[in-house]
Amino acid sequence: MSHPLKIKEFRAYWIGQVISLSGTWMQQIAQSWLVYVLTKSAFYLGLISFITSFPTLLFSLFGGVVADRYPRRNILIATQILSSLPAVVIGVLIYLNLINIWHIAIASFVLGIATSFDMPARQAFITEIVHQDMITSAIAMQSISFNIARILGPMLAGFIVAHLSFYMCFYLNALSFLPLIFILFSIKLNFSTSSSHVSFKESLKEGWQFILKNRQILNIICSVGIFTLFGVSFMTILPIIAGEILKVEAEGFSMIVSSVGLGSLLSGIFIALKRDIQEKLNHIFRASLLFPVGLSGVALSHNIYLTMGFAFLLGIAFVNFFTVSNSFIQNLTEQRLRGRVMSFFAFVFLGFTPIGNLVVGALVQKFGVKTVLELYSLICLAGGIIFLKILPATKRKAL
């Protein structure tokens, strides 16, 4: 089996993603710190994260139908252009010293709409440029690009915020979309659409019925929901941990985020080198146990380097759990249904994120970081145990 990087189209697309996602992470770190500087509030941090992700609940399922009806390459070009606009607007407002929290909220909502259509198309697009037996490696490589960006973006953001200006992070992010847009224009693919005469409701129903008939996929998506609500949402309150508990300011905050990225990157490289993972369900279960360990460590730590170590573990858990879950679902899904099935994955993975972000912000405001993270670690542990209980039945169905 060859490696996906040997395919010219995938290689160019992968490089474009690294550049674009680095800009996105740079803006995300700068924006989180900007919200913290403007409000000093965990609630507002959670609220802005909620507004960014909330459109996924509204539009991602529709985005899945669109991804199965129209060329995914064209959808991705449109979403990249739309994603660059909020960065330009916020950059200008910061430069003019007119920035307010409601400007960030509106820009975040627009970005969330773009993401709702981008996620299903991006996940399904991979299968158009690589062979079926390369899907796990290709998804791992996509994770690697994301996590290279998660390291580079925060590092650049920390330097730029500390030594230059907030607005440069937003301008550079807008520019970072251009290489990927040009690369997508250069990729020529044949795309066969699903039946366009079928109504949106019927198309969505077909995807849902497919998931219900495949209990393996349904169980994985439910597990993803638990860890999205109570595991991933810890990222929202990292500025509070950095600023109020560790007293390390913007550069320390970016170091913690980069540690998550480093763990994720190394984990992605490991999966990509293996090319495929046997016993995927067992692998997903083992990865789920790292979530509560990492969350508990972050909750109890008062040292920046110890916190970075536990953040590193969370990065490993994140990629192992979500990458293998993603490839497991895609390997069991027909090409004509991939956009819709992956939109359900996106609906849970990204759509539950705003709920988790809003709740964690409100809970931390009321009960404090340590109490909330300890509670969340227990819930994630319970989620792993539940997955262990359904694992034997799920594996029997696979035989």
Specify the amino acid at residue 317.
A
Residue 180 has pLDDT above 80, yes or no: yes
Residue 87 has pLDDT above 80, yes or no: yes
Q: Mean of the pLDDT values across residues 355-365?
A: 77
Residue 168 CB-half CA count within 13 A: 11
At 399, is the pLDDT very low, low, confident or very high (cuts 50, 70, 90)? very low
Compute CA distances 50 → 54, 106, 380, whole Å: 6, 12, 21
Look at residue 97 and give its three-state secondary structure: coil
Residue 390 has pLDDT above 90, yes or no: no
The model's pTM = 0.69
Q: Mean of the pLDDT values across residues 18-27?
A: 86
At 393, is the pLDDT very low, low, confident or very high (cuts 50, 70, 90)? low
Q: Which of 61-75, 149-163, 286-300, 304-318 has the lowest mean pLDDT?
A: 149-163
Write down the pLDDT at residue 182: 92
Write down the pLDDT at residue 398: 45
pLDDT > 90 fraction of the chain, expressed in percent and rounded: 4
Q: Which of 272-281, 285-294, 389-398 has the lowest mean pLDDT?
A: 389-398
Instruction: State how far the Cα of 359 lies from the Cα of 144, in Å rounded to an integer.
Output: 29
Q: Mean of the pLDDT values across residues 355-378?
A: 80
At 227, is the pLDDT very low, low, confident or very high (cuts 50, 70, 90)? confident
pLDDT tens, position by position, 341-357: 777 777 777 667 777 77
Residue among 97, 116, 96 nearest 108 (CA): 116
Q: Highest-confidence range of 89-103, 327-341, 349-363, by mean pLDDT?
A: 89-103
Residue 76 CB-half CA count within 13 A: 28
Instruction: State how far the Cα of 192 lies from the Cα of 230, in Å rounded to an integer.
Output: 38
Q: Using alpha carbons only, how large is the chain's radius of gyration in Å?
A: 20
pLDDT tens, position by position, 312-334: 888 888 877 777 777 777 777 76
Which domains, and CATH codes, for the chain?
Answer: 4-186+198-398 (1.20.1250.20)
Residue 317 region, left (φ>0) first, then alpha (ψ -120 to 50), else beta? alpha
Write down the pLDDT at residue 198: 64
Please report the sign of the dihedral spanned by the C-alpha atoms of residue 274, residue 276, residue 282, residue 286: positive
Q: Which of 40-44, 72-76, 174-178 has the lowest mean pLDDT?
A: 40-44
